[in-house]
Amino acid sequence: MCMYSAKEGMPTDWHLVHYGSRAIGGPGLLFTEMTCVAPDARITHGCTGLWNDEQEAAWRRIVEFVHAQSATKICLQLGHAGRKGATKLMWDGMDRPLEEGGWEVLSASPEPYFPDSQVPRETSRADMERVKAEFVTATERAARIGFDMLELHCAHGYLLASFISPLTNRRTDEYGGSLDNRLRFPLEVFEAMRDAWPREKPMSVRISATDWAEGGITGDHAVEVARAFAQAGVDLVDVSAGQTVREARPVYGRMFQLPFSDQIRNEAHVATMCVGNITTADQVNTILAAGRADLVALGRPHLVDPFFTMKAAAWYGAKTYCPPQYAPGQDQIMRNSVRDRADLDDLKVRGKPKTRAELKAEGEGRRLAAE
């Protein structure tokens, strides 16, 4: 999740503490926020980037800390904001255009996100070659830094996603029209990145499995999108949804995006990661046990509790890696979890509704006692 706290694309001490503390908290895999491949690829002035040596050094500091102080792997997510770029910081007005200090934005077609947003320039072939080269250069930097995994962001209406959705792609050339054509540029970028990324390290792609809008991408389309990326060499599909057009009408609820992960995993036969209002370890375990996803990502729960994973592991009696500095805290939570589980089991027994036979027997006993 974007922190909007970078300076000129540079991750700062905020990011070191943010990612470092969550890595120490015990997750198996940590994803960075969408990191932009060029200054004009940013959503806001506060977005992180990976287009120069200073940014590369700052990211290396974070990755080396994660590897040295935890057992967590870390994945870099790369993206280009497209028509949703040159906007205000989230807390100043999410997706609202900058009033000053903006930059030209690109999209598959020249249609603004809001009526008063900047009208994007339709991406030309020269733009495509430049953007693809920027993704490749950032990929090479990520490999030098030592990231364990790489993800390409093709969701939420950003540049590559704008090619995939028919709601934002009105082109009449070989990059518009059919789904195969709309996937052409995102796949060209992915394949170029895959060639530059170490073969032994995995790559994933984030997609919007539905636009939540009439005439847009649906779950059935998402299966085809996943298959196309799988043929191009993707190892995992990160299944998100929406944020493509302002008129979207998402259907919110617990685990509301899970059905799309389920459909893609079991119809396209591609490994998936599900996201979206998943808040408890019980939900995570149920999803995995039911075969509805291969990985589960929890963003907001980790924002407010960096030790969510360590606490969940303790609840189930599984001891995860813990830095020696924090061992006393882990020992305590392991002990407390045993007691808390016993208390819950006892409460379940005492609170179990009685059967009709038991109630009838009790009533008969009271009647005899009264006599």
Inside any domain, residue 229: yes
Give me the number of domains the chain comprises. Answer: 2
Instruction: Verify that 150 and 235 share a domain, yes or no.
Output: yes
In a domain, 61, yes or no: yes
For residue 3, tell me if it sits in a domain: no
- One domain, residues 100 and 249: yes
Q: Are residues 370 and 273 in the same domain?
A: no
What is the rounded average pLDDT of the residues 152-175?
98
Q: What does the pLDDT average to over 136-145?
A: 99
Query: What are the strands, taking DSSP E only, across 223-352?
Result: 236-240, 272-274, 295-296
The answer on 267 and 130 residing in a single domain is yes
294 shares its domain with 334: no
Domain identity same for 66 and 205: yes
Same domain? For 109 and 27 the reply is yes
The arithmetic mean of pLDDT across residues 110-134, rounded, is 96
pLDDT digits (tens, 9 = 90+) for 318-366: 988 999 999 999 999 999 998 988 888 888 888 888 788 877 887 776 7
Reduced 3-state DSSP string for 173-225: CCCCCCHHHHCHHHHHHHHHHHHHCCCCCCEEEEEECCCCCCCCCCHHHHHHH
Q: What are the φ and ψ backbone dihedral angles of 231, each rounded to 5 degrees? A: -65, -25
Q: Which of 249, 277, 305 corresponds to the end of one domain?
A: 305
346 assigned to some structural domain? yes
Instruction: Tell me, yes or no, whether 260 and 341 share the same domain.
Output: no
The pLDDT assigned to 370 comes to 66
pLDDT at 258 over 70: yes
Q: 314 lies in a domain?
A: no
Contact 105, 118 (CB under 8 A): yes
Which among 4, 19, 158, 175 is annotated as catalytic? 158
User: What pLDDT does residue 347 have?
Assistant: 84
Q: Are residues 298 and 194 in the same domain?
A: yes
3-class SS of residue 107? strand
Are 189 and 95 in a shared domain?
yes
- Residue carrying the six token digits 């847009």: 216
Is the pLDDT assigned to residue 139 strictly greater than 70? yes
- Give the CATH number for residue 294: 3.20.20.70
- pTM tops 0.75: yes
Residue 207 pLDDT more than 80?
yes
Domain assignment present for residue 23? The answer is yes
Q: Is 158 a catalytic residue?
A: yes
Where does a domain end: 277, 305, 333? Answer: 305
d(CA 117, CA 105): 10
Q: Which residue, chain included where needed, has tokens 């045993």?
A: 338
Tell me if 66 is assigned to some domain: yes
Q: What is the pLDDT of residue 368?
A: 66
Looking at the domain assignment, is residue 4 inside a domain? Answer: no
Nearest 10 degrees: CA dihedral of 53, 59, 61, 65?
-160
- Distance, in Å, from the CA atom of 310 to the CA atom of 253, rounded to the nearest integer, reads 26
Tens digit of pLDDT for each residue in 273-324?
A: 999 999 999 999 999 999 999 999 999 999 999 999 999 999 999 988 999 9
225 and 349 part of one domain: no
pLDDT at residue 371, as a whole number: 60
Are 301 and 328 found together in one domain? Answer: no
Host domain of residue 52: 13-305
